[in-house]
Amino acid sequence: MNKPRYLQIADTLIERISSGELPAGSMLPTEGELQQEFDVSRVTIRKAMQKLVEKDLLFRQRGSGTYVKAPKAQHNALQLSGFVEEVSAQGKTPSSKIITFELIECDELVAEKLELDLGEEVYSIRRLRLIDDEPKFWNTRFCL
């Protein structure tokens, strides 16, 4: 069974966004231009665009047009480094605030993960991570 035409158009627009043909912040062609390009009704174009709004890929600016949304910042918590690089690559401004920096005796979990004896001293660093000055998450690192 074939996909409805509005979903086919939505898929085409997603491909254009993914490929960079329609980069973040760029304005989409008007509904009329898309109607002509795909040879469909305005209702079909609106349904396709609504799908992309629901997927958080587009946003509408009343009186101005429809624009490609910047991707949400994502961070792979399992990666040891890369927060600054990942966020910067998405056009955002990364920053960190140190909440605590202290010498502690490691508990069982930390001792096991760092292959230390229970009670050995390690530095505990707790940081608040911000993206564009908005707090997004905090993490704790343990160092020798």
pLDDT in tens, 97-131: 888 899 999 998 888 888 889 989 999 998 888 88
Domains belonging to the chain, first-starting first, are 5-68 (1.10.10.10), 83-143 (3.40.1410.10)
Residues in the chain: 144
pLDDT of residue 80: 43
Give the chain's end-to-end CA distance (angstroms, integer): 60
94 or 38, greater pLDDT: 38
H helices of 57-138, where? 83-89, 108-114
SS3 state of residue 23: coil
- Give 77-104 pLDDT, tens digit per residue: 545 457 787 888 788 888 888 888 999 9
Give the span between the Cα atoms of 67 and 64, in whole angstroms.
9
Mean pLDDT of the chain: 86
pLDDT of residue 41: 96
Average pLDDT over every residue of 60-82: 69
- Give 44-57 pLDDT, tens digit per residue: 999 999 999 998 88
pLDDT of residue 32: 94
- Give residue 71's pLDDT band: very low, low, confident or very high (50, 70, 90): low
Q: 49-56: long-range contacts (C-beta < 8 A, 24 or more apart)?
A: 49/10, 49/13, 51/6, 51/7, 51/10, 52/10, 52/13, 52/14, 55/14
Give the span between the Cα atoms of 112 and 130, in whole angstroms.
30
